[in-house]
Amino acid sequence: LKDRAPIVAAYLRVSTDKQTILNQKSEVINFCHRQELKITMWCTETVSGTKKESERELGTLLKKLQKGDVLIITEVSRLSRKMMNIIHQSIEKGITIHSIKEGYKFDSSINSQVLAFAFGLCAEIERTLISQRTREALARRRAQGIKLGRPKGSLRAGKLFEQRFKDRRFLVSENCNAL
């Protein structure tokens, strides 16, 4: 393999079309100016942070990055709900991550590894608490006699067929019966 110049990548993510990446882009540009870094690759996407990184542009970007490369993000939460995995894998590959708002630099240093572990632990606790609160709220609604879930028959037959086709779970007889 030929040696290549290190990649300095910026990753910008918003969760919905109603949000804009302009503020994040401005922060990255200002940070790079102060640090004398030049962005060689921009990666932007509109996607929920709950979606797996392998199903996002982020996954593609992380596969391209190698030892000595730099990933710049505006804040740790822009990576993913399961950011610990991303940070850990990046540290193992020798990729440095700069998180601008928090002022964190994740690299192979022991301080970075401790910080990444603490973040991961906090994120795991938060996910557990959210799940617990959701289960409690659903149980409370059931106890009040409120019917949960999608109303029966609210999914049109065409949509049902379309969903089964997308899921690769289509049998002609099933779909004919659904119509």
Catalytic residue positions, numbered = 15
Amino acid, res. 30? N
Question: Rounded to whole angstroms, what are the CA distances from 17 to 13, 45, 71, 92, 94?
Answer: 11, 10, 24, 33, 33
CB burial class (10 A; 0-12, 13-18, 19+) of residue 24?
buried
- Phi/psi of residue 73, each to 5°? -130, 155
DSSP annotation string for 9-52: EEEEEESSTTS-SHHHHHHHHHHHHHHT----EEEEEE--TTS-
Report the half-sphere exposure of 75 (CA within 13 A, side-chain side): 10
Amino acid (1-letter code) at residue 45: E
Phi-psi category of residue 87: left, alpha or beta, with phi > 0 → left and psi -120 to 50 → alpha? alpha
